[in-house]
Structure 1
């Protein structure tokens, strides 16, 4: 007996949602193969500073868990590592352990700041995720508009600003942030 195949709207909707998430996240993270330079921060760096448009990001503002605003202006003089992510994004979740280890590597540096920005503005869910996984990564939500120079159409996206507040790295897609080239690039920015 032959049974005709019919797809109800619920499974079709589920398939569309999964495709949307995969396309939205855009890029799966590579494995722990540290010999692949395409995943390092250095490979994602834009052209030399002379040719980079010098935008003023000083008024970009995020909120911490207590609702206190943090402007990028208030962080000048520090290297700023900003990761835009969401709890529903598989590549975001996959890169999180390496970001946590990177932060631990530089834990004694007061001139390096990590901002984990939940693009959905769901602070409580993101904070719960960090706590459940024992990550020491501070969660923020956007208060001001996120500049397109920071975030395009994909997450995860990481941007790094130098001590003068200039954008020096914009990396879309998941990465292994513990690659030697990444650690070296941060040390160079910090002046080590």
Structure 2
């Protein structure tokens, strides 16, 4: 886990998976186990960024209880413009190496699906 800001300029030329979430959000909690599985398999190939504005002890307790080890940040800098339009959570974005947003999804989803894994494999190979 990380308590600092993440600067998207530092993630150039990487496939990025971004998720805005909170511990009090039921859909966020529902998709977290699937995202954790995806993270375990792709953390060396894809930049995962999980953003919440919650107090750190709450986040840390939630992660410890559920045995999550996702990289969490409390702020972002230099994000793509569409991030500023995020009004509800969970909000998830998949960004290719050129900075194009390929998926912009609000609400819970199965991020560990074969379709998502195939897409990540294609993007990483490019």
Q: TM-score range by the shorter chain?
A: 0.7 to 0.9
Equivalent residues of 2:21, 2:51 under 8 A apart: yes
Aligned twin of 1:72: 8
Secondary structure of 1:99's counterpart equals: helix
Q: How many angstroms apart in 2 are the aligned matches of 1:77 and 1:143?
A: 18
Give the Cα–Cα distance (whole angstroms) in 2 for the partners of residues 124 and 171 of structure 1.
Answer: 28
In the alignment, structure 1 segments of 5+ residues that lack a partner are 1-63
Structure showing the higher strand proportion among its residues? 2
Q: What is the root-mean-square deviation in Å for CA atoms of aligned residues?
A: 2.0
Counting only pairs closer than 5 Å after superposition, residues 107-146 of structure 1 correspond to structure 2 as 107=43, 109=44, 111-118=45-52, 120-144=53-77
* Larger RCO, structures 1/2 (Cα 8 Å, 6+ apart): 2
Calculate the TM-score normalised by the size of structure 1.
0.58
Using the size of structure 2 for normalisation, the TM-score is 0.86
Any residues of structure 2 matched to 1:141-160 within 5 Å, and which? 141-144=74-77, 149-150=82-83, 151-160=85-94
**Separation in structure 2 between the aligned mates of residue 160 and residue 142 of structure 1, nearest angstrom:** 18
- Say which one has the larger Rg: 1
Q: List gaps (5 residues or longer) in structure 2.
A: none
List structure 1 runs of 4+ shifted beyond 3 angstroms: 143-148
Query: 2: distance between equivalents of 1:191 and 1:146?
Result: 24
